């Protein structure tokens, strides 16, 4: 017995099988192949490059769930092709209003800090380019002294747990907040830095104005090299040595002119050999500098109050002589050394330095019996009888053979960083003509 079959029905069934079974299956397979292809990975790299402004390399892309990616083997490249930072795994989530990134470990070099600071500056100043809010969570941040990123998983010279970076935009303003000292899940944090820009629209009363604010406190020590990079300074500009670290607080604003504000902090493990490398005379040893207060107005320092402590080092005798003849320090019982010996060992240097409208006031620590530098219990130098002008200190930083205070690295910063009322005659620049200069102090009788 034969069952009657219709060829038209058979074709219909086969067509439905192809349309409802094979075509969707082939589409899913093609979509899966595309998601794991180098073309798709390069497309994500290009999107990241457009957002960051730097070349990005991604080893592998994993789609965890809708709008969530896990990027393996990520590298952020510099213009010269060198990796600025390397991360084994980066979790990326996006929404119509926000982008979130999660990285377990990052080794931060000065080069990365400089690139990140520039990216923050662009995010604050270019809202059209960065329309979305952004949150970056770093499980552990380690510091590097070198400029290049280490191999993945390699530790740096220090640790900063639980860093979170939040970039948030509101009506008329954009803000970036960095917080740390705890985990990224909302635990208590002890370190925070906020940068805020507020734009006021132009009105009949006045033109458009921009206000910038920087405020926060960092208790966890940060390498001075990282601070240099964040401030936009050249490498080694602060001259504190490779191991120096800084912590402190700042509160500063800028609106219609230079920056105004106040700060306090502490710099530890200062290498005196590196700090005196650009001075006419050298020192060695390790020191710490406690800046109890520093105020500035319109970009120039108005008041500075700090304390310096150094232990067991060496200072050149010509520097001691310059402190006596130039700053007015008084020789102590241990001032002179053997004939022909240019270096002096010291057990401790402890002094307070106050710079203000009255000049530079150098004082010994309370209880030190006016001794600034001590060796074997005897004073090498004692504090000056009175404050001296800032220009006298500029002579101390000048080569001994100079006729006028030159525009050296030291004097250019010193005479250009402080308020004009603190300089003789209200000078506006770091160099004065020889005819306008006070003569170089040659002996204590000049004071």
Please tell me whether residues 188 and 292 are part of one structural domain. Answer: no
The answer, yes or no, to whether residue 222 has pLDDT greater than 70, is yes
Higher-pLDDT residue of 282, 251: 251
Instruction: Write the DSSP symbol of residue 44.
Output: H
Q: List, in sequence order, the alpha helices (H) in 5-56.
A: 7-17, 23-35, 38-52
Confidence (pLDDT) at 65 = 86
Give the pLDDT band (50/70/90) at residue 327.
confident
pLDDT mean over 163-189 = 76
Give the pLDDT band (50/70/90) at residue 154.
very low
pLDDT mean over 107-111 = 89
Please tell me whether residues 303 and 244 are part of one structural domain. Answer: yes
Please tell me whether residues 195 and 273 are part of one structural domain. Answer: no
Confidence (pLDDT) at 30 = 65
pTM: 0.78
- Rounded-to-5 percentages of helix, strand, coil across the chain: 25, 45, 35
For a pLDDT cut of 90, what percent of the chain falls above it? Answer: 33
The answer, yes or no, to whether residue 401 has pLDDT greater than 70, is no
Confidence (pLDDT) at 19 = 61
Higher-pLDDT residue of 35, 87: 87
Confidence (pLDDT) at 366 = 83
Summary mean pLDDT of the chain: 80
The answer, yes or no, to whether residue 200 has pLDDT greater than 70, is yes
Confidence (pLDDT) at 170 = 80
pLDDT mean over 278-299 = 91
The answer, yes or no, to whether residue 447 has pLDDT greater than 60, is no
For a pLDDT cut of 70, what percent of the chain falls above it? Answer: 75
Which residues partner with 216 through β-bridges? 193, 250
Please tell me whether residues 245 and 385 are part of one structural domain. Answer: yes
Please tell me whether residues 330 and 383 are part of one structural domain. Answer: yes
Which residues partner with 170 through β-bridges? 173
Asked if residue 19 is part of any domain, the answer here is: no
Please tell me the distance from the alpha carbon of residue 194 to that of residue 422, in angstroms, as a whole number: 31
Asked if residue 399 is part of any domain, the answer here is: no
Please tell me whether residues 72 and 86 are part of one structural domain. Answer: yes
Q: Nearest CA to 149 among 59, 96, 56, 76?
A: 76
Task: Indicate the number of domains in the chain.
Answer: 2
Pairing of strands 98-108, 133-143: parallel
Please tell me whether residues 100 and 222 are part of one structural domain. Answer: yes
Please tell me the distance from the alpha carbon of residue 75 to that of residue 80, in angstroms, as a whole number: 14
Instruction: Print the domain residue range for 142.
Output: 33-200+210-234
Residue finishing a domain among 355, 389, 423: 389
Tally Cβ neighbours within 10 Å of residue 123.
Answer: 19
The answer, yes or no, to whether residue 138 has pLDDT greater than 80, is yes
pLDDT mean over 53-74 = 88
Higher-pLDDT residue of 70, 184: 70
């Amino acid at each position: 017995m034969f069952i009657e079959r219709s060829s038209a029905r058979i074709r219909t069934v086969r067509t439905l099988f192809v349309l409802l079974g094979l075509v969707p299956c082939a589409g899913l397979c093609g979509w899966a192949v595309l998601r794991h292809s180098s073309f798709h990975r390069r497309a994500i790299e290009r999107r990241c490059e457009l957002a960051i402004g730097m070349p990005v390399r991604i080893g592998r892309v994993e789609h965890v769930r809708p709008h969530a990616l896990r990027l393996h083997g990520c590298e952020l490249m510099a213009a010269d092709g060198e990796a600025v930072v390397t991360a084994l795994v980066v979790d990326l989530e996006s929404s119509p209003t926000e982008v979130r990134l999660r990285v377990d470990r990052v080794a931060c070099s000065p080069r990365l800090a400089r690139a990140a600071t520039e990216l923050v500056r662009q995010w604050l100043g270019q809202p059209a380019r960065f329309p979305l809010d952004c949150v970056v969570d770093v499980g552990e941040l380690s510091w590097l002294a070198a400029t290049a990123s280490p191999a993945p998983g390699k530790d740096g010279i220090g640790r900063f747990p639980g860093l979170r970076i939040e970039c948030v935009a509101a009506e008329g303003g954009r803000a970036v907040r960095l917080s740390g000292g705890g985990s990224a899940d909302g635990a208590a944090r002890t370190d925070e830095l906020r940068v805020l820009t507020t734009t006021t629209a132009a009105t009949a009363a006045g033109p458009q104005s921009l206000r910038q604010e920087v405020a926060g406190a960092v208790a966890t020590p940060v390498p001075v090299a990282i601070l240099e990079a964040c401030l936009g300074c050249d490498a080694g500009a602060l001259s504190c040595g490779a191991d120096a670290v800084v912590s402190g607080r700042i509160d500063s604003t800028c609106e219609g002119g230079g920056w105004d504000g106040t700060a306090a902090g502490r710099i530890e493990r200062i290498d005196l050999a590196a700090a005196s490398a650009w001075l006419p005379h050298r020192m060695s040893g390790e020191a710490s500098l406690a800046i109890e207060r520093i105020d500035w107005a319109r970009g120039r320092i108005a008041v500075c109050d700090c304390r310096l402590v150094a232990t067991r080092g060496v200072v050149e005798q010509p520097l001691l002589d310059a402190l006596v003849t130039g700053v007015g320090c008084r020789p102590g019982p241990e001032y002179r050394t053997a004939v022909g010996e240019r270096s002096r060992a010291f057990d401790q240097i402890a002094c307070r330095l106050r710079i203000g409208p009255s000049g530079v006031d150098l004082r010994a620590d309370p209880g030190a019996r006016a001794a600034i530098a001590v060796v074997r219990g005897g004073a090498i130098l004692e504090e000056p009888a009175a404050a001296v002008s800032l220009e006298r200190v500029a002579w101390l930083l000048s080569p001994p053979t100079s006729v006028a205070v030159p525009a050296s690295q030291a004097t250019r910063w010193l005479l250009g960083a402080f308020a004009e009322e603190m300089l003789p005659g209200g000078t506006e620049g770091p160099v004065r003509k020889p005819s306008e200069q006070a003569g170089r102090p040659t002996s204590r009788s000049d004071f």
